[in-house]
Structure 1
Amino acid sequence: MDKVNILGVHVDMVNISQATDCIMRFLDEDKFHAVYTPNSEIIMLAYKDEKFCKLLNNADLLTADGIGVVHASKILKKPISERAAGYDIARQVLQKMNYTDHKLFLFGGKPGVAEEAKKKLLEEYTDLNIVGTRNGYFKLEEEAEIVEEINNSGADIVFVCLGAPKQEQWIERNRDALKVRVAMGIGGSLDVFAGKVERAPEIFCKTGMEWFYRLCKEPWRIGRMMELPKFAATVIAKGKKYKQD
């Protein structure tokens, strides 16, 4: 797949459907795959942290979860056609899994959220095979137990919803121990699946204004939102020094 180098992070130039098809192919391969969906805030973190940047680039699939990343790709003359958010990709993966024998494990969120997400997803996808759930509150010494629980479930894919960068770091630390074929970091998606958080209306998502909707609903995000102009300025000032293949 073609990639665009955004401040050192090699983002795959795929849309939602292409990313979904790629993950479904991963599920048919007998090996582990890591899937991350960085937004501009995550890429800025990687820009400042070489170790985290290498971690992201060690993934099998990186998609542009954020309109800022899409705009950055255009500035760098390698435009990504659309924002491929983790939630939207996960939705399409669930639709396709509903007609297969693949098994899903839900990991993350506050106590009770993963179970509620499972309940609501099974109401929508009646043939979906969800083989386990686990909340995202744990101590480092409990990781081996969590990995064993996931492995014993027989899951082919695990949605890891711990928020960035914790979820990517968790996947990287445990990739050699996990027996799943896909581990996908998708942030707060479990809260949306469970009905705890409302997704922005489609018009906001399609016009790249989801950030504005979320800011109106959650004003405390203003500090995090200030990373967006910093990201844009950094791409304009520094982005072209990164070699494009």
Structure 2
Amino acid sequence: MNQSAKIMGISFPKLTLNESLQILNDVVNRNKSELFHVVTGNPEIVMSYQSDQQLRKIIDEAGLVTADGIGIIMVSRIKGEQLPERVTGCDMLIRLLEMGNLKKWSFYFLGADEQTSLKTMDIIHSKYPKVTILGRHHGFYRDEEEQRIVEEIHSLGPDFLIVATGAPKAEHFIYKYKNKLNAKIAIGVGGSLDIISGKVKRAPLIWQKLNLEWLYRLIQQPSRWRRQLILPKFALKALFYKEKNGGNTIKQ
């Protein structure tokens, strides 16, 4: 049985959220020095992968690529590949915080605006008191501040580096400094801090179950309509894309 579904050159492992979390739990427990990079792959990432050679290298070398986006799931099923479910950056982060509260994991958060970052930390402190927040920084830093942020992360050595600066900026940052960050696992989580802080309201569960979370977000943030135009383009291209052998796999 094929253990992954290939979508426009990217191999998505056929893993549930729980199975993905187990992999990350095992990585933390192994105490390896090499950074484990998790890419949450949505249609935008897949489309950028086609033309961004650096992003292609990043994804091919990633420890784990998850199917973050109902478009990925739908295309896989139409092509007979059957990815089991979405594994989004937001869902993964919330579950990691729940697990971290039991296992006393440490986190560093990079991303969102200053007010949202601070509010998110307050909420995490309240809901997950046994999680250690080693540090945080907003995502609107100047270029000349970047090295200092990297040095701070390195000195703190978190179990998880959570980067919420948007894709593919987060992926490029993690890859650029992967040998300097001194974190066990790094994950780009898009706008997850906006959701945890309450700045952006996540779709109700019924919308999520109906695979209409994208529509809910568009209603909440009409300015996203230009970004949403990529979805039909992705669907058409992905359905007729001729896949080749090879590609990324889970690296443990």
**TM-score normalised by the chain length of structure 1:** 0.94
Runs (5+) with no aligned partner, structure 1: none
- The answer (yes or no) to whether the contact 2:9–2:243 under 8 Å persists in 1 is no
Match of 1:158 in 2: 161
- 1:130 partnered with 2:137: no
- Hey, which bits of structure 1, 4+ residues long, moved more than 4 A? none
2:13 aligned partner: 12
Q: Sequence identity of aligned pairs in percent?
A: 32
Aligned equivalent of 2:250: none
Q: Cα 1:71–1:244, aligned 2, differ >3 Å: closer, same or farther?
A: farther
Per-residue deviation at 1:112?
Answer: 2.6
Q: How many aligned positions are there?
A: 244
Q: Per-residue CA shift, 1:160-204, capped at 9, x if unaligned?
A: 000001000000000011111001100111111112111111111
Structure 2: any 5+ residue segments left out of the alignment?
248-252
Q: Which amino acid aligns with 2:243?
A: K
1:108 aligns with 2:111: yes
CA contact (8 A) 1:6 1:242 kept: no
Change (3 A) 1:215 1:33: same
Q: Which of 71, 75, 80 lines up with 2:78 in the alignment?
A: 75
Tell me the SS of whatever aligns to 1:152.
helix
CA contact (8 A) 1:98 1:125 kept: yes
| TM alignment of 1:1-245, pairs within 5 A | 2-29=3-30, 30-31=32-33, 32-238=35-241, 240-243=242-245
Using the TM superposition, name which of 194-203 and 140-149 deviates more.
Answer: 140-149
Aligned residues of 1:5 and 1:244 also touching (Cα < 8 A): no
Distance apart, 1:234 and its partner CA: 0.4
Shift of 1:49: 2.3
